[in-house]
Copies of this chain bind each other. A is one copy, B any other.
Amino acid sequence: MTKQIDIGFLLYPGVTQLDATGPAQVLSLLTGAKIHMIWKEKGPIETDAQFSINATTTFDECPNLNVICIPGGAGQMAIMMDPKVLAAFGDMLKNFGAEHVAERVVRDRNRLTGGGVTAGIDFGLTLAAEIEGVEKAKEIQLYIEYAPNPPFDAGTPEKAGPEIESIVRKKFAESLGGAFT
């Protein structure tokens, strides 16, 4: 029998949905993958993109996880300090303190971090390779035809230039409720 791999995504109101849905698409294609969308209650969680995704399980009901993914978003700081989240995932999340490095996918012991919303797919493939090997990750990459070809080259501040960077920094600060302006 195929071994089940339990992969959880911690959702919360305001989550940047692509940060969850990108890796979820990749990781759901692993052999034996069981995807769990987790929140305090089951049912709809409003995302940042004007639609909602349903939590499939709760902190209390969620089985032990092999992998937990924590997508970014305006509510992320609060959620990472929520007593219920820490009670449920404290063991997996402890020593989560990190220093910033300019990489899209970073490994720190058993933690893999994707930087940037759309890094989730790169992150998912890196993790897929760790779990089931490079050949499987390549199969998934071909299955989702991930051969990105951005129509513009503005995905980093350096490439976008100072004018666009300044607009985006302002928007990003607004999205965080001014907390980081």
Q: Tell me the A residues contacting B by CB distance below 8 Å.
A: 16-18, 21-22, 24-25, 28, 33-35, 37, 44, 48-54, 56, 104-105, 115-119, 121-122, 125-126, 129, 134-135, 137-139, 141-152, 154-157, 159-160, 164-165, 167-168, 171-172
Contacts and interface: CB of A to CB of B under 8 A. Distances in A.
A28 B50 contact: yes
A131 to B, nearest CB: 13
Instruction: Give 10 nearest A-B pairs by CB, closest first.
Output: A116-B145, A147-B155, A138-B154, A148-B148, A35-B50, A18-B25, A21-B21, A117-B144, A28-B49, A118-B146
A152 to B, nearest CB: 5
A145 B118 contact: yes
B21 A48 contact: no
Contacts of A129: 151-152
Nearest to A126: B151
Contacts of A44: 54
B146 A116 contact: yes
Given A104-B147, A117-B144, 12 more contacts: A25-B49, A35-B49, A51-B54, A116-B147, A118-B121, A118-B148, A121-B148, A129-B152, A138-B152, A139-B171, A141-B160, A142-B164
A51 B147 CA distance: 25
Interface centre among A54, A135, A143 (most CB of B within 10 A): A143
